[in-house]
């Protein structure tokens, strides 16, 4: 087969990324769109690059060395990547390859000026832009200079930033090839960038144009502040004209130079409004061709726009698919469930099949469409009330949408809708037997599930699971269970509101909920202290656990003195709580039972930081503090006018809180227990598919929806390409920040805290557990990396119940996500930890090891000197 080293841009399109790289493939596609002008040029294909790499001396050894480097070892990456670049630039271009390039050049005009631009195969992809990683050379004149710059472009695949980016994203250096575009230079009056969606808000209906005089290089390199125009529905809706003091122009003999702009022109708009609107129309045509929002580089030459690049905007959060063209408002489920990481497709579909409300997926996250509830004034009030108590940022974002008056239509009230306003749910008597009965019902249902699922395989398993999901929803929606949950929450709200009004006490209920009985999550945290008590007296076991890396360590324990007891203690803990894990609403996440090493660092911290019997003592201290607080509150109330009545009301509510608030955590425990049973059955089915050579590995089922997996089991056939696409998409979703509120226009509505009662420089959040604490911030994003000392304050993105074992070892809590009744807040109150949640960017703004002060009653965090 004769390798093709040069292709005209008009011969290529988006299907040829492997041959010409992402940038050239897009340019080829652009040149085929009617009405879009692209400067003429050709592409030196990836076959030429591979030939140079094969001829470059000792390149293989250096690539091996490079792949072994840590992405954070910048010095080593800098040195080695510079060596590779020198080697590639120093490798002579073979005669036939040089001839193919100069021949293509002769057809366009040898002495014309050209832009020589890198086009890597992993570049300008829908899931990763690699923007600004490889090199572009402008105004290159003459065959010798062109060949030299082609070599430089090949070498730029190994710039320090490109190498680091690939290593951080798990991309093998050998899987990326480099093509080079040689394109006629245009000498524009103005140039810039057009985003067909607003890159800041994500709104797909608003296009943004950045423009400056001369070559676009001035704008890309940050030399000038551009003019910025925003366009919606064919009209300029906003513009900011900057003072443009410099421009970049081409030199006749080659290269570029900065020039000063005439003072009279500096404040003039680069483009007229009519030109901006015409440019956006071209952009919409390009967007329609590629099927997604684009980041487009343009030039204005003789009153005509030429397009020199178009790539997908990879930073936009995707929009949930809708069947109509109406406006929709979506609220994040992950912010309420304390899991804003992306979920794999099987995790998404199982949650959708077992949830009480319809769920929409986008970017690996789940959303609820609240448009109808916002549209009806009656249900709107209830929704805003519950949202405000849970997460004020969500409420503020929803109010921002409503304030626009044109996005959500107002519909007539269609009877009762939405969640009940505080205090409006059906009354329930304060009887601990209710909670006991609910828990027994749930346990019996899970036991039946475990028993019945054992005999089910193949398609029959999936039919059984669909029935099991209905039972799952029935247990979850049990009216008595709902009443018990609401009784505890509403009593908490009542106590906080009334005791503040009557006694001026802030968040009094926080102390009254300390060590509330029957909370399965807080019991789980304390139970790990008991496990540490069993291990602490055995130094050999402690020493062994310090070096554990393999999940089979439990089988090794009996070899050591005290190891059998240690194993029994850990096994008993896993029997009760092993179905839990971080991100447990995603069925595909590894459970503690599957990966018990996750718990080892926490157990070792407990062995080091606590005395024997700490669990009982902690619980008893909390119980007594709550009892004292109740007596004190009732005494103070009795001294008030109408005090006896107030005290009786408060006593009734305190009893309700103590009876029901612990049950708040049980339904989630039930869900996760059922999930583990489903998961084990599905993985056994996956094992059969692997044995039958249908699947490559068991975990591939995580990248299929429940229905797709059902089809695979029925047909014994799988689409490997689909699984690979899903894996690539899932990897790309990690780079996206999920919004609390998102509209069908793609606009991310952030929400804000409207407060002026906090010190300057403090980080604002939601107060969820009273008290003030000072200490060292430990920023921990992965529970398995925890290394805590007494008095540390945990700072993390979000905590679900699986983080509870860490709570017994900390003095305070700060999270980026959370609300008054999310798991972290409930457990922080039970353990008496001052806590502030919903602190935007806390893990970025608070350095690990920094001393901070957490104001759990007032909802802010101070960074101390």
Q: Return d(Cα 515, Cα 524) in angstroms, integer.
A: 13
Q: What pLDDT is stored for residue 221 in this prediction? A: 61
1-185 and 763-863: same fold? no
pLDDT for residue 235 is more than 70 = yes
Beta bridge partners of 466: none
Q: What pLDDT is stored for residue 139 in this prediction? A: 86
* For range 304-316, the mean pLDDT: 92
* For range 263-272, the mean pLDDT: 84
- Measuring CA to CA, which residue among 540, 537, 568 is closest to residue 554? 568
Q: Are 543 and 605 in contact (CB under 8 A)?
A: no
Q: For 60-64, 175-179, 414-418, 611-615, which range has the lowest pLDDT when averaged over its residues?
A: 414-418
Q: What pLDDT is stored for residue 492 in this prediction? A: 94
Domain residue extents for the chain: 1-185, 423-543+586-692, 763-863
Q: For 130-139, 158-167, 606-615, 765-774, which range has the lowest pLDDT when averaged over its residues?
A: 130-139
- Indicate the average pLDDT of the chain: 91
Confidence of residue 219 (pLDDT cuts 50, 70, 90): low
Q: Return d(Cα 824, Cα 819) in angstroms, integer.
A: 9
pLDDT for residue 515 is more than 80 = yes
Confidence of residue 220 (pLDDT cuts 50, 70, 90): low
CATH 3.50.30.10 corresponds to the domain 763-863:
yes
**Alpha-carbon dihedral angle through residues 342, 347, 349, 351, given to the nearest 10 degrees:** -100
Beta bridge partners of 214: 248
Q: What pLDDT is stored for residue 423 in this prediction? A: 38
Q: What pLDDT is stored for residue 134 in this prediction? A: 66
Superfamily name with CATH number, domain 1-185: ATP-grasp fold, A domain (3.30.1490.20)
User: Which residues are CB-contacts of 558 (< 8 A; sequence separation ≥ 6)?
Assistant: 564, 567
Q: What pLDDT is stored for residue 222 in this prediction? A: 63
- The dihedrals phi and psi of 551, each to the nearest 5 degrees, come to -70, -5
pLDDT tens digits, residue range 543-577? 999 999 999 999 999 999 999 999 999 999 999 99
Q: Are 788 and 808 in contact (CB under 8 A)?
A: no
DSSP annotation string for 100-154 = HHHHHHHHH-TTSEEEEEEEESSSS-SS---TT-S-EEEEEESHHHHHHHHHHHH
Confidence of residue 169 (pLDDT cuts 50, 70, 90): confident
- The dihedrals phi and psi of 240, each to the nearest 5 degrees, come to -130, 115
In the DSSP assignment, the letter for residue 157 is G
pLDDT above 70 covers a percentage of the chain that reads 95
pLDDT for residue 347 is more than 90 = yes
Q: What pLDDT is stored for residue 104 in this prediction? A: 94
Q: Return the higher-pLDDT residue of 71 and 816.
A: 816
Confidence of residue 150 (pLDDT cuts 50, 70, 90): very high
- The dihedrals phi and psi of 382, each to the nearest 5 degrees, come to -65, -40
* For range 176-190, the mean pLDDT: 91
Q: What pLDDT is stored for residue 284 in this prediction? A: 97
In the set 538, 710, 823, 855, the catalytic residue is 823
Residue 231's alpha-carbon distances to 211, 244, 275, 276, in angstroms, are: 14, 21, 11, 8
pLDDT for residue 49 is more than 90 = yes
Q: What pLDDT is stored for residue 410 in this prediction? A: 85
Q: Return d(Cα 529, Cα 513) in angstroms, integer.
A: 21
Q: Does residue 249 have an active-site annotation?
A: no
- Measuring CA to CA, which residue among 854, 864, 740, 792 is closest to residue 336? 740
Q: Are 193 and 199 in contact (CB under 8 A)?
A: no
| Dihedral sign from CA coordinates of 75, 80, 81, 87 | positive
Q: What pLDDT is stored for residue 258 in this prediction? A: 78
pLDDT for residue 460 is more than 60 = yes
Q: Return the higher-pLDDT residue of 625 and 409.
A: 625
- Measuring CA to CA, which residue among 353, 701, 626, 663 is closest to residue 520? 663
Confidence of residue 40 (pLDDT cuts 50, 70, 90): very high
Q: Which residue has the tokens 């300029």?
A: 236
Q: What pLDDT is stored for residue 218 in this prediction? A: 60
Q: Which residue has the tokens 């670049």?
A: 85
pLDDT for residue 452 is more than 80 = yes
Q: What pLDDT is stored for residue 416 in this prediction? A: 44
Instruction: Please give the structure tokens belonging to residue 612.
Output: 């024997």
pLDDT for residue 419 is more than 60 = no
Confidence of residue 261 (pLDDT cuts 50, 70, 90): confident
Confidence of residue 420 (pLDDT cuts 50, 70, 90): very low
Q: What pLDDT is stored for residue 803 in this prediction? A: 92
Cα 829 from chain centre = 27
Q: What pLDDT is stored for residue 418 in this prediction? A: 41
* For range 319-324, the mean pLDDT: 94
pLDDT above 90 covers a percentage of the chain that reads 78
Q: Return d(Cα 233, Cα 275) in angstroms, integer.
A: 15
* For range 577-594, the mean pLDDT: 97
Q: Are 863 and 850 in contact (CB under 8 A)?
A: yes
Beta bridge partners of 776: 851
């Amino acid at each position: 087969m004769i390798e093709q080293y040069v292709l005209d841009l008009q011969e290529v399109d988006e299907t040829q990324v492997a041959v010409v790289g992402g940038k050239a493939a897009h340019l080829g596609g652009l040149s085929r769109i009617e009405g879009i002008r692209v400067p003429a040029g050709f592409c030196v294909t990836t076959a030429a690059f591979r030939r140079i790499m094969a001829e470059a001396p000792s390149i293989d050894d250096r690539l091996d060395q490079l792949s072994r480097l840590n992405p954070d070892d910048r010095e080593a990456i800098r040195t080695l990547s510079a060596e590779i670049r020198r080697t590639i630039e120093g490798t002579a271009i073979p005669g036939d390859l040089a001839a193919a390039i100069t021949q293509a050049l002769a057809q366009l005009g040898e002495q014309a000026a050209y832009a020589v631009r890198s086009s890597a195969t992993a570049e300008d992809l829908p899931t990763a832009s690699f923007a600004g990683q490889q090199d572009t050379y402008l105004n290159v004149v003459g065959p010798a200079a062109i060949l030299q710059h082609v070599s430089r472009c090949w070498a730029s695949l190994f710039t320090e930033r490109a190498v680091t980016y690939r290593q951080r994203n798990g991309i093998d250096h050998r899987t990326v090839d480099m093509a080079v575009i040689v394109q006629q230079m245009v000498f524009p009056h103005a140039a810039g960038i057009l985003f067909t969606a607003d890159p800041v808000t994500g709104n797909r209906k608003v296009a943004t144009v950045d423009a400056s005089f001369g070559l676009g290089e001035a704008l890309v390199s940050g030399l000038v502040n551009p003019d910025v125009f925003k366009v919606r529905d064919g009209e300029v809706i906003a513009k900011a004209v900057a003072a443009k003091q410099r421009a970049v122009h081409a030199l006749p003999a080659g290269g570029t130079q900065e020039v000063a702009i005439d003072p009279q022109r500096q404040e003039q708009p680069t483009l007229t409004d009519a030109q901006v609107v015409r440019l956006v129309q071209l952009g919409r045509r390009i967007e329609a061709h590629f099927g997604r929002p684009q980041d487009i580089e343009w030039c204005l030459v003789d009153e005509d726009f030429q397009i020199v690049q178009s790539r997908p905007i990879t930073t936009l959060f995707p929009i949930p698919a809708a069947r109509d063209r109406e406006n929709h408002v979506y609220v994040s489920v992950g912010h309420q469930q304390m899991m804003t990481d992306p979920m794999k497709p099987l995790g998404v579909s199982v949650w959708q099949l077992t949830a009480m409300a319809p769920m929409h997926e986008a970017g690996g996250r789940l959303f609820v469409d609240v448009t109808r509830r916002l549209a009806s004034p009656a249900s709107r009030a209830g929704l805003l009330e519950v949202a405000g108590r849970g997460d004020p940022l969500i409420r503020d974002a929803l109010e921002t949408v409503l304030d626009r008056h044109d996005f959500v239509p107002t519909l007539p009230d269609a009877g009762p809708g939405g969640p009940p306003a505080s205090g409006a749910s059906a009354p329930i008597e304060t009887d601990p037997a209710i909670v006991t009965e609910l828990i027994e019902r749930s346990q019996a249902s899970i036991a039946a599930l475990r028993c019945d699922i054992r005999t089910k395989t193949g398609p029959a398993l999936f039919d059984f699971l669909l029935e099991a999901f209905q039972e799952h929803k029935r247990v979850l929606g049990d009216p008595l269970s709902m009443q018990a949950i609401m009784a505890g929450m509403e009593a908490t709200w009542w106590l906080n509101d009334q005791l503040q009004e009557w006694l001026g006490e802030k968040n009094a209920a926080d102390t009254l909920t300390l060590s509330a009985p029957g909370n399965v999550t807080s019991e789980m945290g304390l139970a790990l202290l008991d496990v540490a008590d069993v291990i602490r007296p055995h130094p050999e076991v402690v020493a062994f656990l310090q070096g554990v890396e393999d999940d089979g360590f439990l089988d090794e324990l009996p070899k050591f003195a005290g190891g059998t007891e240690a194993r029994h203690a850990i096994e008993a803990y896993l029997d009760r709580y092993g179905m839990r894990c971080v991100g447990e609403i995603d069925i595909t996440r590894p459970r503690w039972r599957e990966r018990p090493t996750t718990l080892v660092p926490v157990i070792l911290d407990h062995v080091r930081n606590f005395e024997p019997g700490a669990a009982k003592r902690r619980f008893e201290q909390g119980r007594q503090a709550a009892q004292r607080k109740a007596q004190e509150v009732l005494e103070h109330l009795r001294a008030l006018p109408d005090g006896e009545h107030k005290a009786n009301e408060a006593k009734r509510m305190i009893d309700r809180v103590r009876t029901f608030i612990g049950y708040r955590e049980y339904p989630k425990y039930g869900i996760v227990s059922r999930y583990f049973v489903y998961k084990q059955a599905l993985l056994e089915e996956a094992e059969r598919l692997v044995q039958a050579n249908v699947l490559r590995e068991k975990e591939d089922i995580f990248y299929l929806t429940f229905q797709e997996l059902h089809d695979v089991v029925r047909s014994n056939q799988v689409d490997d390409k689909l699984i690979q696409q899903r894996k690539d998409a899932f990897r790309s979703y990690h780079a996206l920040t999920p919004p609390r509120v998102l509209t069908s226009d793609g606009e991310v509505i952030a929400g804000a805290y409207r407060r002026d009662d906090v010190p300057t420089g403090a980080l604002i959040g939601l107060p969820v557990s009273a008290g003030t604490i000072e200490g060292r911030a430990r920023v921990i994003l992965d529970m398995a990396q925890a290394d805590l000392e007494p008095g540390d304050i945990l700072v993390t993105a979000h905590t679900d119940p699986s983080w509870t074992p860490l709570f017994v070892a900390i003095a305070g809590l700060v999270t980026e996500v959370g609300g008054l009744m999310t798991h972290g807040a409930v457990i922080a109150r039970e353990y008496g930890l001052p806590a502030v949640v919903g602190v935007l960017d806390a893990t970025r703004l608070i350095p690990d090891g920094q001393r901070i002060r957490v104001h759990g009653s007032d909802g802010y965090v101070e960074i101390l000197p």
